[in-house]
């Protein structure tokens, strides 16, 4: 359905509109401030209509009501407009961090972007601009507001694909669940200028109208650890499509990054971009312009919570590598390593099981896994490299070494139902080590090949996105041709900064104080080779390695000495009689306790 205003417009009004359109175009080349569809139509290609509905399908697995977000301060004014305003159920709803809600209602003037010229100009007072619905931010409302651009159908499935249109062409707002043009602009408290870099979204959900046209929108991505990327979609042709940016891409069964594309779009294991971040699952923010330099590190959100915004980039670092033991009956039953990392990536923990200060022997245990930014814990079952329990006893100092390869600024771009991506993405990391950097990675080996696959289909060594930005599919002249590599697939592309290996060591105190035992020396032993009581066995001494034993005859002459007595003196070549001993027991804290006594050797 094509939207036309009721009634006939007088000729003077038409002339006025044409004049304003011309002024708007001139202003656009000089000093236009607007954030929304204007930015997404500035780089050629075809218009991507904004999907505004709660209906889930293969192209839109995480639908929203065209939700955008904007950071604002008290005294600033939010200006919003869209092409659906006043058409059937089309309207704009705003939600403030303090719980207040506002709506542009059903006006067919306030909040309406009526044509391409107004979209380019942005809101009044820009010459040729649209009349915005405005809300001035009150004290207590600073933070991130949410803006819903409600479609003419109110989100119901009310129309077929919209008509494809080039980004610089005249357009019309159709019925159904799509919004042609939208804008969120922030006016400063002094009412002297518009501010950019305030508007973002957690995901972009769009439709092109056909399968043989491309989307060239350029976005700015901000990560929680302070890294910024520029993403040029560069002609990706998905008709209906969804994409967002996060720190893991698609996850495996343990909710760790799988570093793989997925062979379907049905409930893929991925963090819902509409949900709040967790400690380990983070959805990054997609800005329409370079994020403003005055964004805070943390801001209030709708619902009473907070979220991160602009942080200083953090280089990969490793800290607080510790071990917490749990032991039983002299052997390690379990234990946990804990450590902190400022980046994600991979870890290797090596346990020196034979205590020779070498961590690569066959006897040594190696623990590997995925590393997350923040606190990490790794459970150890107490086994060495051969699968044997490691003995826990006093004086045994074990150690472990951790080696971490941390990836700072890691970003994943899950794309859903993008049939073809013939030009590849252009991704540029804008800050951090060796910036600008254009390196991309992918692994599509799980995708059933239909049409033209990515080449190479697996890239884990990194390719410059300006050379090959993860291309797949073949251009087509058939507007209805969806039979290509990305159809009904979930495809991931990622990038990061690979840090040099980071290392740390820690000691493993494995001895259990409950294993403290009394040392009892006998007063007689009978070395007659009958297999009973043939040696001078001091009960409990095995828990005190390094204990010294000296034996003397009745005239005070030394007849036996050991610096690490292991219950093996049998009185060899000595006559039957009474002997005296001095035992220097090595305590668990390293000190020595001396005990003197006698023993009768009877043959």
Q: Mean pLDDT over all residues of the chain?
A: 89
88: tokens are 């059937």
For range 101-123, the mean pLDDT: 98
- Greatest mean pLDDT among 114-123, 252-261, 516-525 lies in 114-123
> Is 248 part of a structural domain of the chain?
no
3-state SS, residue 403:
strand
Residue 238: inside a domain, yes or no? Answer: no
* Cα 29 versus chain centre, distance: 38
455: closest CA among 502, 479, 422? 422
- pLDDT given at position 14: 35
Rounded average pLDDT over 219-237: 95
pTM of the model: 0.74
Higher per-residue pLDDT: 427 or 388: 427
Q: Taking residues 274-294, what's their average pLDDT?
A: 96
Concatenated DSSP letters for 563-577?
SS--S----TT--SE
Domain holding 536, by residue range, is 516-601
- Per-residue pLDDT, 393: 62
Q: For position 540, what pLDDT does the model report?
A: 82
**Domain identity same for 41 and 189:** yes
| Alpha-helical segments (H) within 88-230 | 116-121
- The CA R_g of the chain, rounded to the nearest whole Å, is 36
Which pLDDT value is given to residue 275?
96
In terms of domains, do 162 and 14 share one?
A: yes
pLDDT score recorded for residue 545 = 86
Asked whether residue 285 is assigned to any structural domain, the reply reads no
Residue 420 pLDDT more than 60?
yes
CB under 8 Å to 586, separation ≥6 — which residues?
395, 544, 545, 546, 547, 548, 592
450-484 CB burial, b ≥16 within 10 A, e <16: ebebbeebebeeebebeebbbbbbeebeeeebbeb
Q: What angle do CA 90, 92, 98 make, to 5 degrees?
A: 150
> Domain boundary residue among 360, 384, 405?
405
Q: Do 53 and 182 fall within a single domain?
A: yes
pLDDT at residue 11 greater than cutoff 60: no
H or E element in which residue 585 lies: strand 577-586
* 179 shares a domain with 31: yes
**Cα gap 250→233, rounded to integer Å:** 20
pLDDT for the residue 221: 98
The total number of residues shown for the chain amounts to: 603
pLDDT at 34: 78
Please check the confidence at residue 22 and state whether its pLDDT lies above 70. Answer: no
Residue 22 resides in a domain: yes
CA–CA distance, 493 with 120 (Å, rounded to integer) = 32
Residue 579 lies in a domain: yes
Cβ distance 186 to 78 under 8 Å?
Answer: yes
**Residue finishing a domain among 162, 186, 209:** 209
What span, in angstroms and rounded, lies between the C-alpha atoms of 603 and 598? 16
Q: What is the pLDDT of residue 424?
A: 96
Query: Which residues pair with residue 283 across a beta bridge?
Result: 246
- Measured CA to CA, the distance from residue 450 to residue 485 in angstroms comes to 5
Q: Poorest-confidence range of 2-16, 76-90, 157-171? A: 2-16
User: pLDDT band at 390, cuts 50/70/90?
Assistant: confident
Instruction: Note whether 543 and 394 are same-domain residues.
Output: no
Residue 96 has pLDDT above 90, yes or no: yes
> Tell me: the pLDDT tens digits for 584-594?
998 766 789 99
Total count of domains within the chain: 3
Instruction: Inform me whether the pLDDT recorded for 21 exceeds 60.
Output: no
Q: Bigger pLDDT: 215 or 345?
A: 215
For residues 4 and 144, membership in a common domain is answered with yes
Q: Which residues face 400 on adjacent strands? A: 351, 506
Section 265-280 average pLDDT:
94
Q: Is the pLDDT reported for residue 567 higher than 80? A: yes
Among residues 276, 205, 239, the alpha carbon closest in space to that of 60 is found at 205
Q: Evaluate if residue 30 carries a pLDDT over 60.
A: no
Whether residue 13 is predicted with pLDDT greater than 80 in this model: the reply is no
Q: Give the pLDDT confidence of 459-494 residue by residue, as tens digits.
A: 999 999 999 999 999 999 999 999 999 999 999 999
Give the domain-ending residue among 405, 421, 452.
405
Percent of the chain with pLDDT over 70: 91
CA–CA dist 441, 443 (Å, integer): 7
pLDDT at 434: 87
* CATH of residue 589: 2.60.40.1220
Residue 26 has pLDDT above 70, yes or no: no
pLDDT at 28 over 80: no
CB-based burial label for 278 (10 Å; 0-12, 13-18, 19+): exposed
Mean pLDDT of 343-359: 90
pLDDT band of 347, cuts 50, 70, 90: very high
**Interval 510-514 mean pLDDT:** 59
Nearest to 82 by CA among 55, 110, 60: 110
Predicted pLDDT of residue 331 = 54
Least confident of 59-68, 155-164, 570-579: 155-164
Region 534-557 average pLDDT: 91
Least confident of 257-271, 286-300, 390-404: 390-404
In a domain, 479, yes or no: no
Tokens of 71: 């950071």
Confidence band, pLDDT 50/70/90 cuts, at residue 4: very low
503 inside domain? no
User: Residue 235: inside a domain, yes or no?
Assistant: no
Reported confidence tier of residue 326, pLDDT bands at 50, 70, 90:
low
């Amino acid at each position: 359905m094509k939207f036309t205003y009721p009634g006939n417009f007088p000729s003077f009004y038409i002339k006025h509109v044409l004049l304003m359109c011309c002024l708007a175009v001139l202003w656009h080349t000089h000093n236009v401030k607007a954030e929304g569809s204007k930015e997404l139509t500035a780089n050629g290609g075809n218009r991507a209509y904004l999907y505004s509905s709660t209906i889930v399908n293969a192209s839109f697995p995480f639908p929203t009501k065209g939700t955008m977000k904007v950071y604002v301060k008290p005294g600033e004014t939010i200006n919003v407009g869209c092409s659906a305003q006043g058409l059937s159920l089309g309207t704009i709803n705003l939600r403030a961090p303090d719980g207040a809600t506002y709506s542009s209602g059903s006006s067919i003037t306030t909040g309406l972007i009526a044509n391409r010229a107004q979209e380019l100009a942005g809101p009044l007072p820009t010459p040729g601009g649209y009349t915005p619905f405005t809300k001035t931010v009150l004290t207590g409302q600073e933070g991130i507001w949410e803006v819903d651009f409600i479609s003419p159908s109110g989100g119901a499935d009310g129309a077929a694909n919209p008509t494809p249109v080039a980004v610089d062409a005249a357009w019309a707002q159709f019925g159904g669940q799509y919004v042609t043009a939208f804008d969120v602009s922030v006016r400063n408290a002094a009412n002297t200028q518009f501010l950019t870099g305030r508007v973002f979204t957690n995901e972009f959900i769009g439709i092109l109208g056909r399968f043989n046209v491309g989307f060239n929108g350029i976005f700015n991505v901000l990560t929680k650890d302070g890294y910024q990327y520029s993403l040029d979609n560069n002609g990706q042709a998905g008709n209906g499509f969804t994409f967002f940016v996060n720190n893991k891409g698609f996850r495996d069964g343990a909710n760790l990054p799988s570093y793989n594309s997925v062979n379907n779009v049905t409930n893929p294991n991925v963090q819902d971009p509409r949900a709040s971040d967790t400690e380990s699952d983070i959805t990054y923010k997609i800005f329409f312009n370079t994020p403003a330099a005055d964004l805070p590190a943390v801001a209030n959100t709708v619902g009473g919570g907070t979220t991160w915004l602009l942080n200083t980039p953090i280089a990969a670092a490793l800290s607080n590598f510790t071990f917490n033991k749990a032991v039983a009956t002299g052997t390690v039953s379990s234990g946990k390593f804990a450590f902190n990392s400022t980046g994600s990536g991979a870890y290797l923990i090596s346990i020196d099981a034979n205590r020779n200060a070498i961590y690569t022997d066959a006897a040594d245990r190696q623990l590997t896994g995925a590393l997350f930014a923040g606190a990490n814990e790794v459970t150890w079952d107490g086994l060495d490299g051969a699968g044997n329990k490691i003995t826990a006893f006093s004086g045994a100092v074990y150690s472990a070494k951790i080696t971490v390869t941390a990836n700072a600024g890691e970003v994943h771009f899950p794309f859903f139902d993008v049939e073809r991506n013939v030009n590849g993405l252009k991704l540029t990391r804008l800050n951090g080590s060796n910036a600008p950097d254009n390196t991309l990675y992918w692994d599509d080996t799980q995708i059933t090949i239909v049409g033209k696959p990515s080449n190479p289909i697996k890239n884990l060594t990194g390719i410059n996105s300006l050379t090959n930005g993860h291309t797949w599919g073949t251009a087509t002249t058939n507007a209805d041709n969806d039979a290509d590599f990305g159809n009904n697939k979930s495809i991931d592309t990622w990038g990061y900064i690979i840090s040099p290996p980071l290392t740390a060591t820690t000691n493993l105190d494995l001895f259990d104080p409950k294993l403290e035992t009394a040392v009892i020396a006998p007063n007689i032993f009978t070395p007659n080779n009958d297999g009973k009581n043939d040696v001078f066995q001091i009960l409990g001494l095995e828990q005190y390695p390094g204990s010294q034993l000296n034996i003397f005859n009745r005239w005070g002459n030394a007849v036996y000495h050991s610096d690490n007595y292991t219950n093996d003196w049998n009185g060899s070549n000595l006559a039957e009689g009474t002997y005296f001993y001095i035992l220097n027991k090595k305590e668990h804290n390293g000190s020595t306790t001396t005990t003197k006594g006698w023993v009768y050797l009877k043959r």
